């Protein structure tokens, strides 16, 4: 009998996610030698190599790739068993893995985390920042308990609950004469200089939807991976970009940059809480959504 342990499968999962022994150890909350030893023992018990080590690079073997979805399912089932066993105990305590998209995380978390710490000090929150597609995949496979993103998601395995609307503004160079008299109509030719985040970011698709009357071929895509990078490019006169209301205040203090409104009705996105459709941690997800909805919107936009 091979006799793999849950711990070994957890370490395998961490290494498969990160492809880096140091980051995997940090993710698993153990030392790197301890994780390496368990992976080596796992390989010995299975009598096959799972990870090819080459200097600073780690690559999964075909055997590891074949095992990965099975191990993910086993770990998800174990987490469901643990959560079911906690029913009847106080909610909002213990480990809770929350994902959040990059265009929300830096603006929402500074307000949410203190509230959670104040009301639920026993909650051990683990955060993961990633694009929507990755968060959906991780929630569906059980690697996340919930995540915060923007609607629509259109995933049958995922339940969503609306949190709050987030209006869109436009970040423009401070001295740009094309935006001297806001508000900006969505069909403005000046939006042909719109810069977008790289593929995979939902804000990219939202920007294209907002400015749908502008020829997409004229839109500049610099493959930026963060809103902060795009704002810096705007400040240097390279174009304009969409900015969510929750980020507008911070963006507005940047030198050589101005935030202007769109014409009414202003375009917006709906921020939501999402989780796997199995009701295992639904009560905690609903409670977390309630806390976020209870935040002062004026504070969020500040």
DSSP for 168-202 reads: EEEEEETT-GGGSSPPBPTT-GGGGGBEEEPTT-H
Instruction: Name 36's Cβ contacts closer than 8 Å, sequence gap at least 6.
Output: 21
CA distance 217 to 225: 20
d(CA 127, CA 218): 37
* 75 in the same domain as 47: yes
pTM over 0.85: no
pLDDT tens for the chain, residues 1 to 302: 567 899 999 999 989 988 989 888 887 878 889 999 999 999 999 999 999 987 778 999 999 999 998 998 888 888 777 766 666 555 677 788 999 999 899 999 999 999 999 989 988 888 999 889 889 988 887 888 999 999 988 788 899 999 999 999 999 998 888 787 789 887 787 787 888 777 667 777 777 777 766 654 445 556 677 888 889 988 988 888 889 999 998 888 888 899 999 888 888 999 999 998 876 788 889 999 999 998 876 556 55
According to the model, what pLDDT value does residue 274 have?
95
Boundary of a domain, candidates 35, 61, 86: 86
Q: What is the pLDDT of residue 48?
A: 93
* DSSP H or E segment with residue 207: helix 202-210
| Cα–Cα distance measured from residue 22 to residue 219, given in angstroms and rounded to the nearest whole number | 40
Residues near 231 by Cβ (< 8 Å), separated by ≥ 6? 171, 241, 243, 251, 254, 257
The answer as to whether 47 is a domain residue is yes
Q: Clarify whether residues 55 and 192 are in a common domain.
A: no
What pLDDT is recorded for position 108?
94
Helices 105-119 & 282-293 angle (0-180, nearest 10): 110
Are 127 and 171 contained in the same domain?
no
Asked whether residue 98 falls in the same domain as residue 56, the answer is: no
Q: What is the DSSP secondary-structure string of 33-78?
A: HHHHHHHHHHHHHHTS--EEEETTEEEE-HHHHHHHHHHHHHHHHH
Predicted local confidence at residue 63, as pLDDT: 94
CATH number at residue 262: 3.40.190.10
Residue 35 lies in a domain: yes
How many structural domains does the chain have? 3
Report d(CA 134, CA 137) in Å as an integer: 5
Tokens for 283, please give them. 């009560």
Task: Please report whether residue 138 resides in a domain.
Answer: yes
Claim to verify: residue 216 and residue 78 sit in the same structural domain: no
User: Which of 86, 109, 130 corresponds to the end of one domain?
Assistant: 86
Orientation angle between helical segments 32-46 and 21-28, nearest 10 degrees: 100
Residue ranges making up the domain that contains 104: 94-145+274-301
Q: 14: Cβ–Cβ under 8 A, 6 or more apart, which residues?
A: 24, 25, 27, 28, 35
* Predicted local distance difference test score (pLDDT) of residue 11: 92
Half-sphere exposure of 188 (CA within 13 A, CB side): 19
Longest dimension (CA), the chain: 75
Q: What is the pLDDT of residue 220?
A: 54
Question: Do both 48 and 107 map to the same domain?
Answer: no
């Amino acid at each position: 009998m091979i006799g793999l342990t849950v711990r070994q499968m957890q370490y395998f999962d961490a290494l498969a996610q990160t492809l880096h022994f140091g980051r995997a150890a940090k993710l698993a909350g153990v030392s790197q030698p301890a994780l390496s030893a368990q992976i080596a023992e796992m390989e010995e018990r299975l009598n096959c190599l799972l990870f090819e080590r080459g200097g600073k690079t780690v690559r999964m073997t075909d055997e590891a790739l074949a095992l990965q979805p099975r191990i993910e399912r086993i770990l998800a089932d174990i987490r469901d068993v643990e959560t079911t066993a906690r029913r009847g105990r106080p909610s909002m305590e213990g480990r809770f893995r929350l994902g959040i998209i990059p265009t929300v995380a830096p603006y929402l978390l500074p307000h949410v985390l203190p509230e959670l710490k104040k009301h639920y000090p026993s909650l051990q929150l683990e955060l993961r920042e990633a694009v929507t597609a990755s968060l959906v995949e991780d929630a569906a496979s059980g690697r996340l308990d919930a995540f915060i993103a923007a609607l629509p998601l259109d995933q049958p395995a995922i339940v969503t609950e609306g949190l709050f609307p987030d209006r869109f503004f436009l970040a423009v160079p401070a001295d740009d004469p094309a935006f001297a008299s806001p508000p900006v109509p969505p069909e403005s030719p000046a939006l042909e200089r719109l810069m977008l985040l790289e593929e995979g970011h939902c804000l990219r698709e939202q920007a294209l939807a907002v400015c749908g009357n502008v020829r997409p071929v004229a839109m500049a895509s610099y493959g930026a991976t963060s809103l902060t990078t795009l704002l810096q490019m705007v400040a240097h006169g390279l174009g304009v970009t969409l900015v969510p209301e929750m980020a507008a205040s911070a963006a507005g203090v940047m030198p050589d940059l101005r935030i202007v409104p769109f014409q009414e009705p202003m375009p917006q996105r709906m921020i939501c809480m999402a989780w796997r459709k199995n009701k295992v941690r639904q009560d905690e997800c609903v409670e977390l959504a309630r806390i976020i909805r209870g935040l002062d919107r004026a504070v969020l936009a500040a």
